[in-house]
Structure 1
Amino acid sequence: MKHFTTRDMAQIAIVAAIYIVLTITPPLNAMSYYGYQFRVSEMMNFLAFYNKKYLIAVTIGCMIANLYSFGWIDVFVGGGSTFVFLGLGLLLFSRFKDKFLFSGVIRLDHFLFAIFFSISMFTIALELYYLQGQPFFYNWLTMGLGEFASLMFGAIIINKLSNYIDFTE
Structure 2
Amino acid sequence: MKTHFRFRAAHLGLLLTACTLLSLSFITRSDVGKGKLVYKSGSKSFDMNIKSAYFITGPDGFDSGKKIRRLIFNTSVLDDKIKSCSVMNCVDQYIEGLQVDLDAAPRLLYWISLNNQLVQYSGTAQNEFLTLTADTADHLAGTLKFDQSASGGPVVDVTFDAKLVKTFAKAR
TM-score grouping bracket, smaller chain normalisation: under 0.3
With normalisation by structure 1, the TM-score equals 0.26
Indicate the structure (1 or 2) with the bigger Cα radius of gyration.
Answer: 2
More helix by share: 1
